[in-house]
């Protein structure tokens, strides 16, 4: 490195693993000189994600009030456990499962979001402070990134994406079923249907804008010119991909909102306004 031996000996007190306080760096005591409100985004992210985790955990373990005909909460779909009548459209293969039916399926959308490239950025910043914001020193002494267990498992993201596509199909099916009334007659629609429709659109936008999806449909190629259809798909997904973070947030809100709405319906807090 650039320093002379003489200089290094003067500053031995600073640990060699130090970052911006290290012996060769410009001596500036502040961890950052940023004057803007850089802490706002990680703080907001932390609060919202934390609130979602609390709510989702509560709802996943709750095990009740997830179905109000014809609406099934997305947290419980597909309902494969010991589900209430009308909620299971794919049978009850895990009827013996003693806990909430949500726990059987929630691992897939949860895993998808947990390993998502956007969410990783967001929670590494907001929860791990690694780094809290750009050019703001992180508090950790050691850092190995995603090279070791458990974070090396982030590389399974594509498998969660495959699962997320299946979940997306199931949720779409749920929306179709939501065009019924309480007597299972077709051609009806209520506020719940609309919310579920909006939610499933956002879920699909989030799922299809995924980086692994972008890679799978065409990103892995070296010759777009030899695969015109995949190039078109890649171009489309690339466009969506630039808004992946937005879709991640919107769909997080919408999925919680739809669940909350169905929860309140099922708990008879109010009635679903029917359009027709």
Partner 1 sequence: MGYDLKMRVWRGDQSGGELGDYTVEVSEGEVVLDALHRVQATQAGDLAIRWNCKAGKCGSCSAEINGKPRLLCMTRLSDFEESETITVTPMRTFPVIRDLVTDVSYNYEKAKELPYFEPPPRDSDGKRRMAQIDVERGQEFRKCIECFLCQNTCHVVRDHEDNKPAFAGPRFFLRYAELDMHPLDTHDRRELAQGAAGLGMCNITKCCTEVCPEGIKITDNAIIPMKERVADKKFDPLVWLGSKIGIRNKDNDGRTEV
Partner 2 sequence: MSEANDRHPMTGNRMSSDESGGMHGIEQHSYDVVVIGAGGAGLRAAIAAHDAGARTAIVCKSLLGKAHTVMAEGGIAAAMGNRWPEDNWEVHFRDTMRGGKMLNNWRMAQLHAQEAPERVMELEDWGALFDRTEDGLISQRDFGGHKYARLAHVGDRTGLEMIRTLQQRAVQLGIDVFMECTVTDLMKDDGKISGAFGYWRETGRFVMFEAPSVILATGGIGKSFKVTSNSWEYTGDGHALAMRAGASLINMEFVQFHPTGMVWPPSVKGLLVTESVRGDGGILKNSDGKRFMFDYIPDFFKAETADTEEEADRWYDDKKNNRRPPELLPRDEVARAINSEIKAGRGTPHGGIFLDIASRRSPEFIRKRLPSMYHQFKELADVDITAEPMEIGPTCHYVMGGVEVDADTQESAVTGLYAVGECSGGMHGSNRLGGNSLGDLLVFGKRAGEAATAYTSSLGDNRPRVDEADVTAAQQSALAPFEVEGGENPYTIQSDLQQSMNDLVGIIRTASELEQSLSEIEAFKVRAASMKVEGHRQYNPGWHLALDLRNMLIVSEAIAKAALARQESRGGHTRDDFPGPNAEWGTKNLVVNLTADGTGVDLTEKPLPVMPDELKKYFDAPPAATKEAGN
Contact positions vs partner 2 (CB under 8 A): 2-4, 6
Can residue 111 be called a binding residue for partner 1 (CB under 8 A)?
no
The binder of partner 1 chosen from 142, 187, 229, 276 (CB under 8 A): 142
**How far apart are the C-alpha atoms of 81 and 128, rounded to whole Å?**
35
**How far apart are the C-alpha atoms of 218 and 238, rounded to whole Å?**
10
The binder of partner 1 chosen from 12, 13, 147, 268 (CB under 8 A): 147
Percentages helix, strand, coil for the chain, rounded to the nearest 5? 55, 5, 45
Per this entry, what is the length of the chain? 276
Planar angle of CA 203, 114, 218, nearest 5 degrees:
60
- Dihedral angle over CA of 124, 260, 200, 127, nearest 10: 0
The binder of partner 1 chosen from 54, 127, 146, 275 (CB under 8 A): 146
- Dihedral angle over CA of 126, 128, 131, 133, nearest 10: 10
Phi, psi of 71 (to 5 degrees): -100, 135
Residue 59 contact, options partner 2, partner 1, none, Cβ 5-8 Å cut-off depending on partner type = none
Can residue 96 be called a binding residue for partner 1 (CB under 8 A)?
no
Whether the bond between 135 and the residue before it is cis, its omega within 30 degrees of 0, is: no
- CB closer to partner 2 out of 8 and 57: 8
Contacts for 86 with CB less than 8 Å, ≥ 6 apart: 67, 69, 70
10 Å Cβ neighbour count for 254?
Answer: 21
CB 156 within 8 A of CB 107: no
Contacts for 270 with CB less than 8 Å, ≥ 6 apart: 264
- CB closer to partner 2 out of 3 and 95: 3
In the complex, minimum distance from the CB of residue 145 to partner 1, in angstroms, rounded to a whole number: 4
**Which residues from 180-199 bind partner 1, rule CB under 8 A?**
none
**203 token code pair:** 């879920």
In the complex, minimum distance from the CB of residue 8 to partner 1, in angstroms, rounded to a whole number: 9
Among the residue ranges 8-16, 70-78, 186-194, 254-262, the one whose residues contact partner 1 (CB under 8 A): 8-16
Can residue 138 be called a binding residue for partner 1 (CB under 8 A)?
yes
Can residue 17 be called a binding residue for partner 1 (CB under 8 A)?
yes
Residue 221 contact, options partner 2, partner 1, none, Cβ 5-8 Å cut-off depending on partner type = partner 1
The binder of partner 1 chosen from 34, 64, 239, 274 (CB under 8 A): 34
The binder of partner 1 chosen from 44, 90, 127, 145 (CB under 8 A): 145
- CB closer to partner 2 out of 3 and 130: 3
Give the interface with partner 1 as residue ranges (CB under 8 A): 1-3, 7, 10-11, 16-20, 22-28, 30, 32-36, 117, 120-121, 124-125, 130-131, 134-138, 140, 142-147, 151-152, 155-158, 211-212, 214-215, 219-227, 231, 241-242
């Amino acid at each position: 490195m650039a320093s002379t031996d003489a200089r290094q000996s003067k500053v031995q007190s600073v640990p060699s693993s130090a970052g911006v306080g290290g012996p060769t760096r410009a001596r500036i005591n502040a961890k950052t000189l940023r004057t803007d409100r850089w802490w706002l985004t990680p703080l907001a992210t932390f609060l919202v994600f934390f609130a979602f985790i609390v709510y989702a955990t509560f709802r996943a373990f709750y095990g009740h009030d997830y179905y109000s005909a014809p609406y099934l909460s997305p947290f419980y779909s597909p309902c494969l456990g010991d589900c209430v009548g009308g909620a299971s459209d794919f049978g009850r293969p895990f009827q013996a499962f003693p806990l909430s039916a949500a726990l059987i399926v929630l691992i897939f959308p949860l895993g998808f979001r947990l390993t998502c490239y956007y969410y990783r950025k967001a929670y590494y910043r907001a929860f791990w402070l690694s780094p809290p914001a750009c050019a703001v020193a992180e508090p950790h002494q050691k850092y190995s990134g995603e090279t070791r267990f458990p974070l090396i498992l982030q590389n399974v993201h594509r498998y969660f994406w495959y699962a997320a596509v299946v979940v997306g199909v199931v949720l779409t099916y749920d929306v179709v079923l939501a065009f019924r009334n309480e007597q299972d007659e077709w051609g009806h629609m209520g506020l719940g249907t609309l919310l579920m429709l909006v939610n499933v659109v956002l879920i699909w936008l989030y799922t299809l804008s995924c980086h692994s999806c972008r890679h799978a449909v065409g990103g892995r190629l070296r010759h777009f010119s030899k695969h015109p259809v995949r190039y078109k798909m890649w171009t489309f997904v690339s466009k969506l991909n630039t808004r992946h973070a937005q879709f991640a947030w919107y769909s997080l809100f919408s999925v919680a909102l739809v669940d909350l709405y169905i929860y309140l319906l099922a708990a008879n807090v109010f009635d679903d306004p029917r359009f027709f």
